[in-house]
Structure 1
Amino acid sequence: MSDSSNTLLGILAGTAIGAVVGILFAPDKGTNTRRKLAEQSNSLVDEVATKTGEIKQQVADTLSSKASTLEDKMESLVSSASYKTEDVITTLEAKLKELKLKNKKLQRPNQKLPHPNELA
């Protein structure tokens, strides 16, 4: 949880404690005190629910942003790997062409090659 969220929860808790202490020490009838405590607790529950929802939304937004950034990085990595793969294939094709030319120079003209079954 971030520092601002901790501070906000601390302020809410302090406010609630102060309200309860103030009501308990105020000279009033028991029924009025209980009613005020119930109202304060309901108000606090509503505030906590609201702040919890806000924090939950902030976390969801942050996670969504991080996921989007990760997806962009993965796409960039895959694209880069694809270009490197293409470079390797091009290099291998050039090397193969070079080897075929060297091999052709080593062959005698008009020489009949034996069939692979005849070699065994």
Structure 2
Amino acid sequence: MIQYKGALILGALIGTAAGLLLAPDKGRITRDKLKKEGKDIKDQFTQDFNEVKDDVSKAAKSGKDRFKEDLKDFASRSSYKTEQAITFLEKQLAILKEKNKTFQQSS
């Protein structure tokens, strides 16, 4: 998209230069036309720049929102895995307690 807009601006500049070289009008008329074309090019460039800036902003916001969703999913999965690990450790602790009881009874 940016390359397309750059090509349009380059084309406008080349067209302006060709117009100067082939201009059948007087100098003042040609200068007025150049001023108008220069303003048009500037306005188009400003509009294109704002569109690109908006596109980048939307992409960044979308990426940020996506990152937040992914982070929330990761936290949820991590919490589930943590719960599994805690359950496993509690079972192992219960086994160790039972073994420890057998040592206490045999003493």
Mark the runs of 5 or more structure 2 residues left unpaired by the alignment: none
Q: Which residue of 1 aligns with 2:4?
A: 7
Q: Which residue of 1 aligns with 2:35?
A: 38
**Corresponding residue to 1:19 among 12, 16, 19:** 16
Contact 1:19 1:40 in 2 (8 A): yes
Question: RMSD between aligned alpha carbons?
Answer: 1.8
2:48 is matched by which residue type in structure 1?
Answer: K
Q: Which residue of 2 aligns with 1:100?
A: 97
1:71 is matched by which residue type in structure 2?
Answer: K
Q: TM (normalized to structure 2)?
A: 0.87
Identity of aligned residues (%): 34
Q: C-alpha distance in 1, partners of 2:40/2:17?
A: 12
Contact 1:23 1:33 in 2 (8 A): yes
Q: Who wins on radius of gyration, i.e. which is larger?
A: 1
Which one has the bigger helix percentage? 2
Mark the runs of 5 or more structure 1 residues left unpaired by the alignment: 112-120
Aligned residues: 107
